[in-house]
Amino acid sequence: MLHIVDDEEVIRDSLAWLAKSRGIAALAYDSGSAFLAALDAGIGFDVLGDCVLLDVRMPDISGGALFDVLTARALTQRLPVIFLTGHGELPMAVDTLKRGAFDFFEKPFNDNKLMDRVQEALAASQQAGSAAAIQTRLALLSAREREVLELILAGKMNKVIADQLGISMRTVEVHRAHIFDKMNVKTAVELARLLK
């Protein structure tokens, strides 16, 4: 989902139309406060990736201040930010890029280049979301399940795992079932693919 945060309605509408022409779903916000309210409520955010097009100069919360909030919440990988400005603020552009902004475009911008970067940001967001989801699932495993997981990934059979860990084969089967359930996979091959 593309999140367009700009206080000018004409800009919001044209960016939403441009995104739609590329098959990208978009939501528009007339202020940083409106965007933060939606973010806090979890409204309109997508597991398949999100990107924020953020105007630098806005009346209630500036683009820079909103970016600071996203940075403080450690959200800039999951919500890559592309800044838009009509004021040629080169020092700010350099600073925000150093602090993790995805890109910085000066108005007027090339539509195709902007949408190409939006698609790249959406892909990066999806990848960050997938990696975070895997880490969350791994955190659910007990210490013993992690030991069994390592041996499964090494291609060991249940009997070998049981002998190596000094536990019964039935216990290994229970751990394996819990691992597969927590990692949301059905086979060792799927597990290996997920964690490669």
> What DSSP line would sit under 104-167, residue for residue?
EEESS--HHHHHHHHHHHHHHHHHHHHHHHHHHHHHTS-HHHHHHHHHHHTT--HHHHHHHHT-
pLDDT, residue 31, reads 95
Containing structural domain, residue 171 = 140-195
pTM for this one? 0.70
pLDDT, residue 88, reads 65
Task: Write the CATH number for 169.
Answer: 1.10.10.10
- Closest-CA residue to 122 (of 32, 47, 65): 47
Tally of structural domains, the chain: 2
Domain finish residue from 135, 159, 187: 135
pLDDT, residue 129, reads 75
pLDDT < 50 positions in the chain = none
